[in-house]
């Protein structure tokens, strides 16, 4: 093949143009990458500080809650042992009531102990929305599972306590129906009062922290909606 004059020069020029174009494309890519890289803003730093403070408050609250749960679990176990020691003094319906009540105390102690176990350490490394959801569920007053367990435990304790009380009062009256009605009204009233007092105490201890968790969750969602 015959090479025309200037052909070699033209080929070199084309190669130089292609190389220059690639360098320009690479520079453009770097500039775009620098522009798309999100630098921490003042709002991000403030959010991180608030999040760290919230985690500290939550951990401190979990430790306090754990101490309280262990205390009440121990109280329930002590009650079960005291009832067991008095079992030999009861017979018939009262004896069955003592056994049922002891079962209720032991199950209640197990529920209180496991219900208020702190979050596992891995939960603190979860993404922010997942951690906040877990923290909120952990601090919630009562969920559906709690209601089911507590109602079951109250029915067990109510039945056992009713057997003991009715057996004791049958010595003074033969009106069994009246005794059952009195016990049901008294026990339901006691449960309602316990629920009211527990709800009030829960709001006092955990209401502020739950509000902060909800605000933090909304703040995080708002920030990311804005970025998107």
What is the structure's pLDDT at 109?
A: 96
**Residue 220: inside a domain, yes or no?**
no
**Residue 70: inside a domain, yes or no?**
yes
What is the structure's pLDDT at 14?
A: 41
**Residue 85: inside a domain, yes or no?**
yes
Return the structure tokens found at 130.
């997942």
> Which of these, 81, 154, 140, 54, lies nearest to 111 by C-alpha position?
154
Task: Answer for the pair 160, 101: CB distance below 8 angstroms, yes or no.
Answer: yes
pLDDT in tens, the chain (228 residues): 444 444 444 444 444 454 444 444 435 544 544 444 445 566 667 778 888 888 888 888 888 889 999 999 999 999 999 988 887 777 778 888 999 999 999 999 999 999 988 888 888 888 888 888 888 888 888 889 999 999 999 999 999 999 998 888 888 888 889 999 999 999 999 999 999 999 999 888 888 888 888 888 887 765 554 444
**Residue 110: inside a domain, yes or no?**
yes
Residues in the chain: 228
What is the structure's pLDDT at 23?
A: 46
Measured between alpha carbons, how far is residue 186 from residues 45, 96, 189, 199 in Å? 55, 21, 5, 20
**Residue 27: inside a domain, yes or no?**
no
**CA 177, 182, 187, 193 torsion-angle sign:** positive
Return the structure tokens found at 18.
């292609």
Q: How many domains does the chain have?
A: 1
What is the structure's pLDDT at 41?
A: 65
User: Can you give the pTM of this predicted structure?
Assistant: 0.72
> Which of these, 71, 43, 58, 157, lies nearest to 107 by C-alpha position?
157
**Residue 217: inside a domain, yes or no?**
no
Phi, psi dihedrals of residue 116, rounded to the nearest 5°: -110, 30
Query: What is the extent of the structural domain holding 170?
Result: 44-198
**Residue 141: inside a domain, yes or no?**
yes
């Amino acid at each position: 093949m015959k090479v025309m004059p200037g052909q070699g020069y033209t080929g070199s020029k084309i190669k130089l143009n292609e190389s220059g174009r690639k360098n320009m494309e690479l520079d453009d890519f770097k500039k775009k990458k620098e522009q798309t890289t999100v630098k921490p803003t003042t709002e991000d730093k403030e959010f991180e500080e608030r999040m760290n403070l919230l985690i500290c408050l939550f951990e401190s609250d979990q430790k306090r809650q754990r101490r309280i749960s262990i205390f009440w679990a121990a109280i329930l176990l002590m009650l079960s042992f005291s009832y067991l020691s008095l079992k030999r003094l009861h017979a018939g319906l009262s004896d069955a009531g003592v056994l049922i009540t002891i079962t209720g105390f032991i199950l209640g102690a197990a529920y209180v102990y496991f219900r208020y176990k702190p979050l596992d350490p891995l939960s603190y490394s979860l993404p922010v929305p997942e951690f906040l959801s877990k923290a909120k569920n952990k601090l919630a007053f009562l969920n559906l599972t709690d209601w089911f367990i507590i109602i079951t435990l109250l029915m067990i304790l109510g039945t056992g306590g009713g057997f003991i009380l009715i057996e004791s009062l049958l010595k003074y009256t033969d009106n069994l129906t009246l005794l059952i009605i009195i016990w049901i009204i008294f026990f339901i009233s006691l449960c309602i009062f316990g629920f009211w007092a527990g709800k009030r105490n829960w709001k006092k201890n955990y209401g502020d922290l739950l509000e902060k968790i909800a605000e933090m969750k909304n703040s995080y969602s708002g920030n990311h909606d804005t970025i998107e």
